[in-house]
């Protein structure tokens, strides 16, 4: 799936640049980080939380939003806590407008951070987010009916160690050693109507490196 790699500077202004747009935006698992101009959703109704909902119960309880409602989703270090990610991603797909954008930030699967927190229930790697798209189900049907296409995949690594290093060499270390990646950032696009479960529809994604 991943055939090309290059170094880029990731735009860290994501959280701020959306607030002036006239879009409906959902901040998932916000906790105490309340974003202005977003609907802030969390399991517990903390101060500033607009909607309390259990994202692990999406298979049984729909989120309180209409179909095709949101244009933006943002989740920082949420998805690794979700036991039933397919149900959640299918429900987010329902409330997403066609071509809606979703940004997920999470620990990389081969990092200590992915395992140290006892509330983390899953680890995510380069190809993991591809399984939120229909083309990855060309061999089996698990009843999942969402469809998200990976648009960008950014791996945050140590600038002091990897600045000037060829990207393919950085990727070799990502695949060989633990704790190379500090954070993974993935940008998804909602595909509507959903695609056929056809392997040939899997898209190539550039792996970008964010040096910090």
pLDDT in tens, 79-89: 999 999 999 99
- Read off the CATH number of the domain in which 73 is found: 3.40.50.150
pLDDT in tens, 140-173: 999 999 999 999 999 999 999 999 999 999 999 9
pLDDT in tens, 83-142: 999 999 999 999 999 999 999 999 999 999 999 999 999 999 999 999 999 999 999 999
Q: What are phi and psi of 113, to 5 degrees?
A: -60, -30
Nearest CA to 184 out of 82, 79, 88, 90 is that of 79
pLDDT in tens, 38-73: 999 999 999 999 999 999 999 999 999 999 999 999
Count of CB atoms within 10 A of residue 202's CB?
18
Structural domain range at position 44: 5-211
Nearest CA to 186 out of 137, 144, 126 is that of 126
Q: Cα(20)–Cα(17) distance, rounded to whole angstroms?
A: 7
Q: pLDDT value at position 130?
A: 98
The total of structural domains in the chain comes to 1
How many angstroms separate the Cα of 114 from the Cα of each of 2, 32, 192?
A: 22, 21, 32
Q: pLDDT value at position 8?
A: 54
Q: Retrieve residue 176's tokens.
A: 């060989």
Q: pLDDT value at position 18?
A: 38
Q: pLDDT value at position 3?
A: 42
Q: Cα(194)–Cα(93) distance, rounded to whole angstroms?
A: 10
Q: Cα(172)–Cα(174) distance, rounded to whole angstroms?
A: 5
Q: Cα(197)–Cα(203) distance, rounded to whole angstroms?
A: 13
Q: pLDDT value at position 22?
A: 61
Per-residue pLDDT at 2 exceeds 60: no
Nearest CA to 76 out of 184, 4, 202 is that of 184
Q: pLDDT value at position 23?
A: 79
Q: Comparing 69 with 17, which gets the higher pLDDT?
A: 69
Q: Cα(123)–Cα(111) distance, rounded to whole angstroms?
A: 9
Q: pLDDT value at position 192?
A: 99
Maximum distance among all alpha carbons in the chain? 49
């Amino acid at each position: 799936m991943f055939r090309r790699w290059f170094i880029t500077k990731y735009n860290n202004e994501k959280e701020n640049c959306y607030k002036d747009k006239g879009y409906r935006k959902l901040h998932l698992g916000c906790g105490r980080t309340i974003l202005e101009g977003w609907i802030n959703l969390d399991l517990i109704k903390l101060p500033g939380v607009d909607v309390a909902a259990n994202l692990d119960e999406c298979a049984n309880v729909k989120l309180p939003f209409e179909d095709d409602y949101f244009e933006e989703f943002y989740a920082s270090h949420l998805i690794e806590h979700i036991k039933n990610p397919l149900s959640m991603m299918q429900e987010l797909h329902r409330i997403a407008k066609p071509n809606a954008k979703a940004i997920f930030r999470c620990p990389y699967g081969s990092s200590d951070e992915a395992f140290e927190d006892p509330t983390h229930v899953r680890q995510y790697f380069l190809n993991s987010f591809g399984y939120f798209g229909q083309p990855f189900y060309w061999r089996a049907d698990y009843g999942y009916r969402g469809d998200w296409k990976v648009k960008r995949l950014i791996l945050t690594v140590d600038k002091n160690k990897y600045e000037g290093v060829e990207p393919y060499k950085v990727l070799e270390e990502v695949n060989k050693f633990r704790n190379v990646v500090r954070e993974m950032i993935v940008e998804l696009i909602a595909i509507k109507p959903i695609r056929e479960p056809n392997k040939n529809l899997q898209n190539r994604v550039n792996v970008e490196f964010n040096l910090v």
